[in-house]
Amino acid sequence: MPVHHLAIVTRDLPASHTFYTEVMGFTLAKVEVGPYEGGTGWARHVFYDIPGGGMFALWDLHDESVPDFDPSISRALGLPEWTNHVAFDAPTLEDLAMRRDNWLAKGQACLEVDHGWCTSIYLMDPNYILVEYCTSTGEFNDEDRAEALELLFAEAPEQVAPKSIKLHEPAKA
């Protein structure tokens, strides 16, 4: 079942809008504004169409009852920034390379990781949420699923490093 949309909160709507439209290539589709439930203020729910299907949304909260907060899901929980992240599909390695090159052209450094079964590129959004484009590079078979089940419950599973990790930095002007 496909995901209709994923929503996160932002502390800086203008920066987030610029990031998700100009860097990620999403298209603004819909904005809803309504009362902030349980408070006296209001909230804005901003929806973007994602190339290839589905939507991504931002919450922009305006209410005095909202405490000062860290919009980075992982960092706010005391976890490494890479743990909670959003991964978008890049259907082919050519598409992934195009997205990486677009990020670099927009002045964004990114990390590229070949995990062996997929290849991903990563960068942080303005809210310090890790954003990823990922391309699956193989199909899973019964052997893969059996190994996954074994690793799922192993007390001390064998650790396997990614095949490669590359930092891509934009060209200097």
The answer to whether 46 touches 19, Cβ cutoff 8 Å, is no
Helix residue ranges, H only, the chain:
13-18, 73-76, 93-105, 142-153
Question: Averaged over 34-58, what is the pLDDT?
Answer: 92
DSSP characters over 62-84 = E-TTSPP----HHHHTTS-TTSS
Note the pLDDT of residue 1.
Answer: 64
Q: Please, where in the chain does CATH 3.10.180.10 lie?
A: 5-62
Residue positions counted in the chain: 173
Amino acid at 125: D
Residue 87 has pLDDT above 70, yes or no: yes
Question: Which of 3.30.43, 2.60.120, 3.10.180, 2.60.40 is the CATH number of 77-168?
Answer: 3.10.180
The answer to whether 13 touches 62, Cβ cutoff 8 Å, is no
> For 88-120, what is each residue's pLDDT tens digit?
999 999 999 999 999 999 999 999 999 999 999
* Bridge partners of residue 62, in order along the sequence: 42
Note the pLDDT of residue 49.
Answer: 96
pTM: 0.90
Which residue is associated with the tokens 């990031």? 19
CA distance linking residue 103 with residue 131, whole number of Å: 12
| CATH code that applies to domain 5-62 | 3.10.180.10
CA distance linking residue 119 with residue 113, whole number of Å: 6
Residue 173 has pLDDT above 80, yes or no: no
